[in-house]
Structure 1
């Protein structure tokens, strides 16, 4: 992704995080989105940018053919303890009909202000009768990750949505733990979702193949190595 895009990201700093919004404009056959909220959930929900810094933003340019490019910065690096991260992506998304579609693409993660190696993630997704399925492979500086994802939104008994994610992590160098080494591990999560009085409720269970002292080697997607149950409530004000 070209460096001039970074100047567009910098222009978003004037926007308040509390009043995050997306500016959208049609440019011929192209659709441009610019804002402080992620405008795209790549791989049909498998890869979803998150806002981690006090200042963040990005842009997304898509064509009527289904081709898209964009750049998202979850942290511009102005706050203490946060480094500049720039996620550049390119992909193609196309529906066959109202019940079937697909998406493929790649994301490049870079950290211009620190001595951290860049990483890449290749992804693909399929939509079938309202449900979403995806897979991704990422090459991080310290490990390789293979992920599969399923969001069964097409069939919601009692109005409850179910999504699942399972990832295998292969470490480049085994990590020493008490009683041996850890060279690979897996983690997973299951999310139950249901709207209630304008609030999106998520009940999340996450776990990994590591436990006890082996958790010192954990560096996966979950916030905790051992089993964890989380209740999340979110309400959109605009």
Structure 2
């Protein structure tokens, strides 16, 4: 599955038409999405973050029955200092009515150019009154991770969407830092506020972990940086 999906992603992502965040088409009974940002609900909050400066994108194919399959590449590995990374996922989503539903699935994390870099995560969650709450357990011998994810939707009065993610990482082998002490585990988290403004999608993100100083040598979490960082992103859809 990985090679055909990757080749299709690469061909379409290099197309001049792909200036938007996402393209959506109907292919028979299937809903096809292609874009530079992840499109899946629960999986969107749990896939690997895009590497800074890396070329990224992916695709998603879903069926009215609730089954879906997709692939997202946080890094396509097209520059000399980047490594190919792929997140493949398969899941099922069901709504009881407009206010309540659930979702379960499996994510395969891989770096095809690096031996023994594959790992898997089981994820699931519920949607209630427009908010989503999910979690995942990732089996990686070097870094076993449990993640909680909440998308609270639009906050009353403020007209902003709030997303929160918290993870705990347990290292398979304690990491020895410069002062001789060891780090066997750590936690990290992120909080994101987003809203449309003058045709732009604005995102204010705060991320941090419980490591600092020399302890950051052991950091290999979900955020780009170990210590506290505030990031402002502005994105625009062209159609």
Match of 1:40 in 2: 39
Match of 1:187 in 2: 188
Match of 2:82 in 1: 82
Q: Structure 1 unaligned segments of length 5 or more: list them.
A: none
Partners of 1:76 and 1:3 lie apart in 2 by: 13
Q: TM-score, normalised by structure 1?
A: 0.85
Partners of 1:55 and 1:222 lie apart in 2 by: 18
Alignment of 1:208-223 (within 5 A): 208-223=209-224
Instruction: Give the stretch that moved more between structures: 174-183 or 190-199.
Output: 190-199
2:230 is the counterpart of 1:229 = yes
Could you tell me how far 1:179 is from its partner in structure 2? 4.6
Report the number of matched residues: 236
Could you tell me how far 1:191 is from its partner in structure 2? 2.0
Alignment of 1:186-205 (within 5 A): 186-205=187-206
Contact 2:43 / 2:89 at 8 angstroms: preserved in 1?
A: no
Partners of 1:49 and 1:187 lie apart in 2 by: 14
Partners of 1:80 and 1:17 lie apart in 2 by: 25
Match of 1:109 in 2: 109
Partners of 2:191 and 2:13 lie apart in 1 by: 35
Could you tell me how far 1:3 is from its partner in structure 2? 4.2
Contact 1:13 / 1:55 at 8 angstroms: preserved in 2?
A: no
Please provide the CA RMSD for this pair. 2.6
Q: TM-score, normalised by structure 2?
A: 0.84
Match of 1:25 in 2: 26
Could you tell me how far 1:198 is from its partner in structure 2? 2.5
Give secondary structure in 2 for the equivalent of 1:153.
Answer: strand
Instruction: Give the stretch that moved more between structures: 42-51 or 215-224.
Output: 42-51
Give secondary structure in 1 for the equivalent of 2:191.
Answer: strand
Structure 1 residues 145 and 154, CA, compared in 2 at 3 Å: closer, same or farther?
Answer: same
Match of 2:161 in 1: 161
Structure 1 residues 83 and 106, CA, compared in 2 at 3 Å: closer, same or farther?
Answer: same
Instruction: Give the stretch that moved more between structures: 142-151 or 167-176.
Output: 142-151
